[in-house]
Amino acid sequence: MSRPIRFWIGGAALVTMASLVGAIVTSRGAAAHDAPPVELMFSNHSGVLGTLTTAGAFEGSNPFFADLGTNGRRCSTCHRPAQAWTITPVEVRERFEQTAGLDPIFRTNDGSNCEGADVSTVEQRRRAFSLLLTKGLIRTGLDGPAGAECKIADVDDPYRCRSPLTSASMYRRPLPTTNLGFLSAVMWDGRASVAGHAVKDDLVAQALDATLRHATGTPPSVAQLRDIVDFELGVVTAQVRDNAAGNLRTAGARGGPRGRTPGHPNARRLRAVRRSSTRVSSSSTTCPA
Ligand code: HEC
32-47 pLDDT, tens digit per residue, is 444 544 789 999 999 9
**What residue spans of 63-129 are helical by DSSP H?**
75-78, 89-99, 122-128
More confident residue, 132 or 269: 132
- HSE, side-chain direction, 13 A CA sphere, residue 15: 6
Q: What is the pLDDT of residue 151?
A: 86
Distance (Å) from CA 57 to ligand 1 centroid: 22
pLDDT at 259: 73
DSSP state of 282: -
Pocket of ligand 1 (CB under 6 A): 73, 75, 77-79, 110, 138, 140, 172, 174-175, 177, 183, 186-188, 203, 206-207, 210-211, 214-215, 228, 232
Average pLDDT estimate for 177-205: 93
Contact criterion met (CB below 8 Å) for 47 and 239? yes
Domain residue ranges of the chain, discontinuous segments joined by +: 87-173
- Locate the ligand 1 atom nearest the alpha carbon of residue 207 and give its number: 35
How far from 125 is each of 107, 121, 283, CA to CA, in Å? Answer: 10, 6, 29
Q: Counting atoms of ligand 1 from 1, which one is nearest the CA of 215?
A: 5
Looking at residue 81, the DSSP 8-state letter turns out to be: G
- B/e letters for 182-218, b = 16+ CB within 10 Å, e = fewer, are bbebbbbbbbbbeeeeebeebbbbbbbebbeebbebe
pLDDT, tens only, 5-24? 455 444 333 333 433 433 33
Q: Is the dihedral of CA 279, 243, 257, 41 positive or negative?
A: positive
Distance CA(43)–CA(160), nearest Å, equals: 39
Share the mean pLDDT of the chain: 82
Give the C-alpha separation, 142 to 124, whole Å.
25
Collapsing DSSP to helix, strand or coil, 77 comes out as helix
Task: Kindly list the distances between the CA atom of residue 248 and the CA atoms of 44, 53, 100, 172, 244, in Å, as whole numbers in the listed order.
Answer: 15, 19, 39, 30, 10
Nearest CA, atom 11, ligand 1: 174
Q: Is the predicted pLDDT of residue 275 greater than 60, yes or no?
A: no
Q: What predicted TM-score, i.e. pTM, was given to this entire model? A: 0.84
